Structure formats: C-alpha cells, structure tokens
A and B are shown apart, each in its own frame.
Chain A
C-alpha cells in the first residue's frame, strides 16, 4: 500500500493509522510493527526537519509491502539530497556524560530494522527498509 503525507508533523498520525491497518491485514507480529513505527518516526523527523528550505508543503510517499517473509518500507521525498546512512556509527557504550546528542535516530533505525538502503532518483530521496517477519528473539 502507499500513503501520501505532507511534511507536516500532524500527518504522521495518518501514517501510523495506515501502518496499523496494514499490520492487521497482514497479521504482522507486534515487534515488527513497533520497529517499523520507530524507524518511520525517526526517518520522517529527519525529513521534516532537514529536507526542505522553503515553507511550502511537500509530499512524502510511504510504501508498505510484505514480500518473502519481510516487511518492506520505502519513504520517498522530494527534499534536498540527503543520505541518512552516511552518518557514522554511534558508540552507545559511552557513558551518558560523553554520549553524543546526534546520531541516535539513525542508530535506532539501524538496530531495529534489518536492512536500510538509500538511493537518489532524479530529484527524490528514497529510503528503503526491510525487516524479517520472524525476527529471532533477542
């Protein structure tokens, strides 16, 4: 399924409703839905905060699919070229006093989803994510 949002934070509610509906229709495990919810929140926050230099509304498309035992998500925006995966790894073993403020969002996306990939298509950023539907218990 595909959901079109604007880059307004209020629109995230619609996405969450769509994700929950998709999850129910496809009987996705709760742990997978929570991971997708978190990864989408993190990525959309980045897009909404950093991808645009103008005050006009922009469209963001989110595609959800189930394929070969995986949940696939794609988020497409027409903002500035931005590859969130270029951020360097965060060392989360560092104590709170020294912990860097930045990079936590990407770190959470990487840890809660199994695969992330980015491509630039014309004037659009496309961020893809995959998660196994039967994740091993941690």
Chain B
C-alpha cells in the first residue's frame, strides 16, 4: 500500500530463509519506486528468523543513511519474541 512517499509491505506467513528473500525483493521494489518511509507490517507473519532480521537490519541501515525510514510494525507475540531476543525492538513503531 502506498500513500505518497510511504509504503507499507504486508508479509504473510513464514519469514524463513526463502521468506527473507521475498522480503528483500519487496523492500527493494519500494526503494526503487522512491519510498521515503517503508513500514514492514508483520501482523500476518507467523515466523521470523535471523535471515529476516538481517534483511531488516541491512535495509534499515541503508534507508537511515539516506535520511529515510524503515520500520517494522504490528508483530504477533511470537515474532515480537524474536525481535526482543535479538535486540531489534528499536526497529518497531507502535501504531500503524
């Protein structure tokens, strides 16, 4: 979903090794189409592992370095446990 410069990506299902590749593709697409804010909506993600975390981190950094924003939103409790255990909750935005 796109509103102006803001893109929301909805990732459903497992963000495992293959899911992380899919996530990366979608982030890159959003970046290529000029997104200034990317929100990775995790409400339908059932699983998140380090492959997904690495993609999120890599592009969080890239966006930040060009004064743009990538954030994750609405994790389920299970996905939130992985974010918390890895010290990634800084990447979460409360609302949306």
Q: Which residues of A are interface residues toward B (Cβ below 8 A)?
A: 9, 12, 34, 37-38, 41-42, 45, 92-97, 99, 101, 104-105, 107-108, 111-112
Contact = CB atoms under 8 A, between A and B. Distances in A.
A104 B61 CA distance: 16
Contacts of A99: 57, 87
Contact of A108 (B18, B50, B78): B50
Nearest to A111: B85
Contacts of B47: 37-38, 41
Interface in B14-34: 16-18
Contact of B54 (A12, A94, A104): A104
Interface string B57-96: 1101100100000000000001000100111101100000
Contacts of A97: 61, 64
Contacts of B58: 101
A93 B16 CA distance: 24
B10 interface: no
A41 B17 contact: yes
A105 B86 CA distance: 9
Contacts of B16: 12, 41, 45
A104 B60 contact: no
Q: 9 closest A-B pairs (Cβ-Cβ)?
A: A92-B87, A105-B50, A104-B50, A111-B85, A41-B49, A45-B17, A96-B90, A41-B16, A104-B53
Contacts of A96: 57, 60-61, 88, 90-91
Nearest to A97: B61
Contacts of A101: 54, 57-58
A22 B10 CA distance: 31
B57 A42 contact: no
A60 B78 CA distance: 27
Interface string B39-63: 0000000010111011001101100
A114 to B, nearest CB: 14
A38 B49 contact: yes
A111 B18 CA distance: 23
Contacts of B91: 96
Contacts of A37: 47
Nearest to B54: A101
